[in-house]
Amino acid sequence: MIVEPLDPNAPLETLLDRVQYQTFLYFWEGAHADSKLIYDKRWVNGAIATNMVSISGTGFGLMAILVAAERQWVTRAEALERIVLILERLSLATRYHGAFAHMVDGASSETVQFSQYDDAGDLVETTLLLQGLICAREYFTGTSEAELALRTTVTRLFDEVEWNWFTRGKDDGPLYWHWSPIHNWTMNLPIKGWNESLSAYVLAAGSVTHPIKPESYHTGWARSGAMKNGESYFGTELPLGEPLGGPLFLSQYSFCALDPHGLSDRYADYWQQAVAHTKINRDYCLSVPAYKQYDVWGLTASEAPNGYNANSPTSDMGAIAPSAALSSFPFLPKEVEEGLRAMLRYEDGKLFGSFGFVDAFAPAIDWLAPTYIAIDQGPIVAMIENHRSGLLWNLFMKAPEVRRGLERLGFTSGHYTA
């Protein structure tokens, strides 16, 4: 596909339309030809990089399809038909105490082993899928047979997740990321904050069938307050998390659905957290000569010259990921616009292709990632849309599971007060 170049000096609305649309195509034209599930990655030349389907990437793909329907890039009927097919194929996948695997086969929906012990249930991947499914259920509110069936199926998939199983029997302990019928709890990765997994606790607390107790959130996720930071970096105080904030996806994946406006609990104001994290990441990048030379910024988990890495100010492999800045549009709109225009200018537009921006680039060595990756492309569409219209935030925050979960965990929200 020959892609018309984008003028870096075009009006912002023109740029946002094109960036969102071109990135959406990854999830529409770039989906598996038969099942329409979302590939984990594709080569930038358009070739299929792997037959593995990303469960979280499919969740982001559902969000992108809703954005496309709302912006009339596809019809509402086309979006519904596509999501119904995706749901049918997801329903064929093996689930483990209700949780999906990290990866499944694009043709058969069978579990694909992701690593030595990661061969079954993945609670965070499942959460990111459910974010998209819940948004779809709240979007398709009509009385047609297809819309009624969609809503029923999404609710059933949610209700069948045994969230409390993943606490390993402790009411006041954390959720655990993985479980396998072969390896049991060998991965042994507790989901502790601050990171991208806030939604897992909100949905787990909001379940009517298998809820966790609030103590799991407070002593497990929040570690009785030990997830607090409070230090200043580049003159910005960071409420929560690791030194210098970590990769930017930590403040993006859950907030593609959860609206951080006015969202707070006893530990933090989550809007302040996301803004501070983003600002620190940008300020760090613009202190690095190789990035400052082009006025580009944004470190997150992405491809890098020496392989995939969770890039951050404390683990900087030299790779700027367009997703990192563009998925921050709600938090620092002026600075993100500047970053967008700078990335479009970079080497005469070679970062932007058939499915949006390439996954990453390394200015110091003139390297470009050879791939697009679903979990980086997805937040671009979602967060730009939340900045522009609040579409996904409004859908997700009215869901009863979300409202119930926030209330049980003691949150207040800009959408309602618990």
Question: What pLDDT was estimated at residue 418?
Answer: 40
Per-residue CA distances from 296 to 36, 315, 323, 386 (Å): 34, 17, 12, 22
| Tens-place pLDDT, residues 300-329 | 999 999 999 999 999 999 999 999 999 999
Mean pLDDT of 252-279: 98
| Tens-place pLDDT, residues 30-48 | 999 999 999 999 999 989 9
Question: What pLDDT was estimated at residue 181?
Answer: 96
Decide: residue 103, CB within 10 A, 0-12 exposed, 13-18 middle, 19+ buried.
Answer: buried
Question: What pLDDT was estimated at residue 65?
Answer: 98
Question: What pLDDT was estimated at residue 115?
Answer: 92
The percent of residues in the chain predicted with pLDDT above 90, rounded, is: 96
The range of the structural domain enclosing residue 241 comes to 33-409
Q: Does any domain span residue 171?
A: yes
Question: What pLDDT was estimated at residue 414?
Answer: 77
Q: Does any domain span residue 151?
A: yes
Extended strands (E) in 326-386: 352-353, 356-357, 361-362, 367-368, 371-373
CATH of the domain at 177: 1.50.10.140
Per-residue pLDDT band for 415 (boundaries 50, 70, 90) equals low
Per-residue pLDDT band for 3 (boundaries 50, 70, 90) equals confident
Q: Does any domain span residue 137?
A: yes
Question: What pLDDT was estimated at residue 297?
Answer: 98
Residues 248, 249, 255, 257: what is their CA dihedral angle, to the nearest 10 degrees? 150
- The residues that bridge with 140 in the sheet, in sequence order, are none
Q: Does any domain span residue 182?
A: yes
What gap in Å lies between CA 63 and CA 375, rounded to an integer? Answer: 12
What gap in Å lies between CA 24 and CA 68, rounded to an integer? Answer: 7
Per-residue CA distances from 133 to 64, 129, 319, 382 (Å): 12, 6, 32, 14
Dmax over CA atoms of the chain, in Å, equals 58
Q: Does any domain span residue 18?
A: no
pLDDT over threshold 70, residue 8: yes
Mean pLDDT of 359-366: 97
Retrieve residue 282's tokens. Answer: 């940008």
Q: Does any domain span residue 315?
A: yes
What gap in Å lies between CA 191 and CA 67, rounded to an integer? Answer: 30
Retrieve residue 257's tokens. Answer: 């659905």
Q: Which helix (H) or strand (E) holds 310?
A: strand 309-310
pLDDT over threshold 60, residue 417: no
Question: What pLDDT was estimated at residue 5?
Answer: 84
Three-state DSSP at 305 gives: coil
Q: Does any domain span residue 251?
A: yes
Q: Does any domain span residue 139?
A: yes
Tally the domains of the chain.
1
What gap in Å lies between CA 100 and CA 119, rounded to an integer? Answer: 10
